Amino acid sequence: MTYLDRAHRVPELDHFPGVDEISRRLDVLTAKHPDLITRRRIGTSRLGDPITMYSIGEGPDQALVYAGVHPNEPIGFWTAIRLVEDLCADPGLRAGCRWNVIGCIDPDGTRLNEGWFDGPFDRVHYAAHFYRPAPAEQVEWSFPFQYKDAYFDQVMPETLALMRVIDDLKPTIAVSLHNTEVGGVYYYVSKKLKGFVDELHAIAASFDLPLDLGEPETPVAKVIGPAVFGMISQQAVYDYAEERGLPTPNESGSSSAAYAERHGTVNLVAELPYWTHSSADDQAETELSYQQVLLDVVDELEGNLQVMDEVFQAARPHLSDDSQLVRGIASFLPHLLRRPGRERARATEIDPGRRATVSEVFGLRDNNRMYRLRYGGMLMRALDGEIARGSAAAALHPLAHRLREIYGEWQQEAASLDQELHAVPIKDLVGVQYAATFALLDAVRREAG
């Protein structure tokens, strides 16, 4: 059976597993197969959850697969569980490679997302219960980083756990399990591998999922093939900002892929959307100037961010500083508020006559929608949570009221798009990550000859 056949056998899934369910499922497998699975505690989260790694297979290759590097991206939780299940069931699958699977590297952040894991899977419900950690608290972007004037070494215990594992295993391949929100499928890979781009395309196509051919996540992403990029490096992000006289990143670190590079590890990220939209891979030209759409979107984003910032600044003295939500907002708002300047600088480099494609227009506008839904939602929860504690200053109430009204408008706007969005079955999302993981190992082995 090929990895693609196996990927298509993922059963129907109706929710995403939370921290306790992930541990329970992997522990049950370990209890059933004590001769196959080695269970090892590799760390402890800041709030006290154990972090566990499950290893299965013989080697000599070492594969490292980790979910929850962005705790708002739960597709990988299922992918990790499914991998271990299948590796237990099939000796052929575990031949020649030892698989090391971390079911959830950020339990603290994941618990703050569990409010949406059981559905309903519409964007309004999702965003209202969404939590993304501040960049310095994202496992993926909190590895040590030293470059020109940037210096980051505030490594969290979760990241340190992953660093130790990477150094211990020196993995052949590493798969960091991420996902996006709306659009199509795209990938990041740390090395160009023969035939791999076509394979990655074929995997998405076999699940009838569109590729994301619109806006790349960042202009520094190097294109390897359609919807396949080189890993984003923090150095490139720094240089891009420096060349344009913009503030350079100094509040977060480098990625797990950059860290694993020292061991020759080939890294893959498969980015998958919960929802697709017919515009996501529509390359048809519109009548609109790309530059103009970009500038319009930037103006709108700036307005949205200013409202959030006003509310947050006024509320800040009355909010508990130890909340992950408050730390997230405090970090994201200044970061996002720099985005309009960066995007306006980018707009000056674009030919005003260039027409935007349908996918670019959709991608640019939807990014704004995403930002205000996500961070507006986090701010709303921070205010509501403080009030729910029962000791909120009176000054918080009018601020919560004002934000609720504005956020409600954003939610209504988002809900109006619901009809156009197609929710991808969770099993297909898992299937793509699963297949891409095995395809990577194959491609790396081919390359090694």
- Least Å distance, CB 126 to Zn ion, is 15
- In sequence order, the 6+-apart residues with CB closer than 8 A to the CB of 342 are 241, 244, 246
Q: Which is nearer to Zn ion, 73 or 181 (CB)?
A: 73
DSSP annotation of 114 reads G
- Least Å distance, CB 17 to Zn ion, is 18
Residues 140-159 that bind Zn ion (CB under 5 A): none
Q: Which is nearer to Zn ion, 123 or 178 (CB)?
A: 178
Query: Whole-angstrom Cα distance, residue 154 to residue 136?
Result: 8
Query: Whole-angstrom Cα distance, residue 281 to residue 226?
Result: 11
- Least Å distance, CB 90 to Zn ion, is 29
- Least Å distance, CB 70 to Zn ion, is 3
Beta strands (DSSP E) in 45-169 are 50-56, 60-67, 96-102, 145-147, 150-152
Q: Which is nearer to Zn ion, 93 or 432 (CB)?
A: 432
Candidate ranges 62-70, 108-116, 200-208, 305-313; the one touching Zn ion (CB under 5 A):
62-70
- Least Å distance, CB 310 to Zn ion, is 29
Candidate ranges 6-14, 175-183, 392-400, 410-418; the one touching Zn ion (CB under 5 A):
175-183
Question: Which of 84, 339, 320 is CA-nearest to residue 237?
Answer: 339
- Least Å distance, CB 54 to Zn ion, is 22
Q: Which backbone phi and psi does 445 adopt, to 5 degrees?
A: -65, -40
- Least Å distance, CB 68 to Zn ion, is 10
Query: Whole-angstrom Cα distance, residue 423 to residue 418?
Result: 9
Residues 271-290 that bind Zn ion (CB under 5 A): none
Candidate ranges 48-56, 66-74, 94-102, 108-116; the one touching Zn ion (CB under 5 A):
66-74
Q: Which is nearer to Zn ion, 132 or 277 (CB)?
A: 132
- Least Å distance, CB 344 to Zn ion, is 26
Angle (CA) 306-128-207 rounded to 5° is 110
**DSSP count for the chain of H helices, then E strands:** 15, 15
Residue 256 CA: distances (Å) to CA of 63, 193, 231, 445: 14, 20, 10, 21
Candidate ranges 63-71, 91-99, 333-341, 434-442; the one touching Zn ion (CB under 5 A):
63-71
Q: Which is nearer to Zn ion, 97 or 189 (CB)?
A: 189
Can you spell out the DSSP letters for 202-261? Answer: HHHHHTTPPB--S--SSTTPPEEETTEEEPP-HHHHHHHHHHTTPPPP-SS-B-HHHHHG
Residues 73-112 that bind Zn ion (CB under 5 A): 73
Binding Zn ion by CB under 5 A: which of 70, 374, 381, 427?
Answer: 70
Q: Which backbone phi and psi does 275 adopt, to 5 degrees?
A: -125, 140
- In sequence order, the 6+-apart residues with CB closer than 8 A to the CB of 428 are 10, 207, 208, 209
Q: Which is nearer to Zn ion, 66 or 196 (CB)?
A: 66
Q: Which backbone phi and psi does 62 adopt, to 5 degrees?
A: -120, 125
The upper half-sphere exposure of residue 72, i.e. CA atoms within 13 Å in the direction of its Cβ, equals 20
Candidate ranges 172-180, 223-231, 273-281, 299-307; the one touching Zn ion (CB under 5 A):
172-180
Alpha carbon distance, N-terminus to C-terminus of the chain: 22
- Least Å distance, CB 138 to Zn ion, is 8
Q: Which is nearer to Zn ion, 73 or 114 (CB)?
A: 73
- Least Å distance, CB 110 to Zn ion, is 13
Q: Which residue has the tokens 């030209």?
A: 285
Residue 260 CA: distances (Å) to CA of 17, 73, 156, 171, 441: 28, 21, 17, 8, 16
Applying CB under 5 A, what is the total number of residues that bind Zn ion?
A: 3
Q: Which is nearer to Zn ion, 16 or 312 (CB)?
A: 16
Q: Which is nearer to Zn ion, 72 or 100 (CB)?
A: 72
Q: Determine if 191 is a binding residue for Zn ion (CB under 5 A).
A: no
Q: Which is nearer to Zn ion, 269 or 414 (CB)?
A: 269
Candidate ranges 71-79, 160-168, 231-239, 396-404; the one touching Zn ion (CB under 5 A):
71-79
Candidate ranges 37-45, 64-72, 151-159, 221-229; the one touching Zn ion (CB under 5 A):
64-72
Binding Zn ion by CB under 5 A: which of 6, 111, 132, 178?
Answer: 178
Spatial contact of 200 and 193, defined as CB atoms under 8 Å apart? no
Query: Whole-angstrom Cα distance, residue 132 to residue 290?
Result: 29
Give residues in contact with Zn ion (CB under 5 A): 70, 73, 178
